[in-house]
Homo-oligomer: A and B are copies of this chain.
Amino acid sequence: MKVVKFGGSSLASATQLEKVFNIVKEDETRQYVVVSAPGKRNAEDTKVTDALIKYYKEYTNGKDTSQSQEWIINRYRSITEELDLNEEIIEEIARDIISLATLPKSDNTFLYDTFLAAGENNNAKLIAAYFVKKGLEAKYIHPKDAGIFVTSEPCNARILPSSYDKIEELRNHNEILVIPGFFGITKEGQVCTFSRGGSDITGSIIAAGVKADLYENFTDVDGIFAAHPGIIKHPHSIPELTYKEMRELAYAGFSVLHDEALVPAYRGKIPMVIKNTNNPKHPGTKIVLNHTNENVKVVGIAGDSGFVSINTTKYLMNREVGFGRKLLQILEDLNISWDHMPTGIDDLSVILRSKELTPIKEQEILKHLIQDLQVDYAEIEHDLSIIMIVGENMKNQIGVTATATKALSENNINIQMISQGSSEVSIMFVVNQEQEKQAIKALYNVFFN
C-alpha cells in the first residue's frame, strides 16, 4: 500500500484538487493521503500559511484580525464552492480559523505552531469531505488520532520513536485516511510543527509507520533534475536515485526534499517517488535503497558556492601524531562545523561553508594554527564552490574521474582540490566560485549529452 503526499501547489485550487482526486482514485493502494495547506494559485497569490502568519502577528500584537480571518476563510470557501461541497464543511473551517483568536496569548509556547498548523489541518478536512462527496470512502484523521507524537520543540518538532507503533495501527482502517501534514502533538496535547518541508516529514513518518510499499511525494515538477535548471536548459529528470545519492545532491545545492523528510523513510527502508501532480503519467524520480539498474553511473551533477578552505603547511607534518585531530579540535572549540579534509604529506586543508566563519573566528583559527600547531604557513581561501558528481555505481567503474577531469580541463577549469571518498557515491571537486556554472555545464555535457 502507498502513502501519497501532496504539496501546496497541488492543492491550491479546485482544478488542482480534481487532479489529486483522480490520482488517489486511480490506484486503490493509495490509502494514506498527507496534505499541505493550499499554496499559491499564481505568482502573485498568497499561501494560506503566510496569511496565517500575518493573522498570528496581528492577534499577538493586539491588532484587528477580522480582515485576515476573512481572507483565509474565503480562500477555503472559493475551493469548497467550486467543488460544490456543502456549507457544513466551510462553516467548520470558519469556526476553527476564528477560534484561533481566542487562544491564550501568554504562557502559550505553541501558539505560533497552532496558528500555522490550521492551514494543513483545515485543508485535510476539506479534502476528506471532497473525496467523500466524489464517492471515495475517505476520512479525515487528526495527527493526535493518527499517533504522530512529537518532542516539545516549537517549529522544530521531532517524532518520538514510540509513535511508530501507534501509527502502525492505522493499517486497521479500511477507508482512505486524509492526514494533515506539518505537525504533530506533544505528550501534553499541544500542536507542534516540524521544521521546513514539514508535510514531507509527515508523509515520510506515516510511510515508515504503516510500512508502506511506496511513499509518493507529489510536487509540481517531473521529479528531480540531473542538474540545476537555472544552469542547464531542460535538464533530464533522474529516473532512479538512492537515498545516499539524494543526500549528496542535497548537500551540494539540490533542494527537493530536506534530510528530515528522508530519514524516516530511509530508516524504514521505504522507497519514495517524486512525481508531478500536473503530469502524473511521468514516472518521476524514484528514491530507493539500492539501484535496480547498475548501468547508470552518474545520476546527477550538483554545485554549491560559499565554501572556504583553511590551508596549512608544515614541514614533517605527517610525522606529527595528532596534528589533524588538534586542528579539528580548534574548529570544534570555536563551534565550527567542517566538511572535508584533503591532505598532502606536509599539507592539510579543511573545507567548510563560509557561514561557519566570521572575521573574528578566522583570526582565532589562524592564531591557533600559528601559535599552537606551529604551522609554517596558514591561509584562509574564500569564494570556493564545490561540484559533486553523484552516482553510487561509479564505485569500481574505471574512467569516471578521467572523463570528469578531462572535461573540466578542456573547459579551462582549474581544479583546486579533489576528494573522492571510499564509498565513491560521489566525486567532489573544489573550484573557484566564478567557474562553478561553467564546471557544471562541462560535466553535464560530458555525462548526459
Contact surface of A with B, Cβ cutoff 8 Å: 243-244, 247-248, 251, 259, 263, 266-267, 309, 311, 313, 315-316, 318-319, 321-322, 324-325, 328-329, 331-332, 335, 337-349, 381, 396, 398-399, 401-402, 405-406, 408-410, 412-428
Residue contact B347 to A423, C-beta cutoff 8 Å? yes
Residue contact A343 to B347, C-beta cutoff 8 Å? no
Residues of chain B within 8 A (CB-CB) of A423 are 311, 313, 344, 346-347
In the bound assembly, the distance between CA atoms of A47 and B314 in angstroms comes to 37
Residues of chain B within 8 A (CB-CB) of A328 are 322, 324-325, 328
Residue contact B340 to A421, C-beta cutoff 8 Å? no
In the bound assembly, the distance between CA atoms of A381 and B381 in angstroms comes to 34
In the bound assembly, the distance between CA atoms of A406 and B410 in angstroms comes to 13
Describe A's contact surface by its main secondary structure.
Answer: mixed
CB contact between A322 and one of B311, B332, B340, B421 (< 8 Å): that residue = B332
**A377: shortest Cβ distance to chain B, in Å?**
9
Residue contact A402 to B398, C-beta cutoff 8 Å? no
Residues of chain B within 8 A (CB-CB) of A349 are 421-422
25 contacts between A and B (CB under 8 A): A244-B315, A247-B315, A311-B422, A318-B339, A322-B328, A322-B332, A324-B338, A325-B329, A340-B343, A342-B342, A342-B419, A342-B421, A343-B421, A344-B423, A347-B422, A396-B414, A398-B415, A401-B409, A401-B418, A402-B408, A418-B418, A418-B419, A418-B420, A418-B427, A419-B420
Residue contact A398 to B414, C-beta cutoff 8 Å? yes
Residues of chain B within 8 A (CB-CB) of A401 are 405, 409, 415, 418
By beta carbon, the residue of chain B nearest A340 is B343
Residue contact A332 to B342, C-beta cutoff 8 Å? no
Residues of chain B within 8 A (CB-CB) of A325 are 325, 328-329, 331-332
Q: A342-B420, A348-B421 are in contact. List 12 more A-B contacts (CB 8 A).
A: A251-B318, A267-B315, A319-B337, A321-B335, A324-B341, A341-B341, A341-B343, A398-B415, A401-B415, A402-B410, A416-B422, A418-B420
**A404: shortest Cβ distance to chain B, in Å?**
8
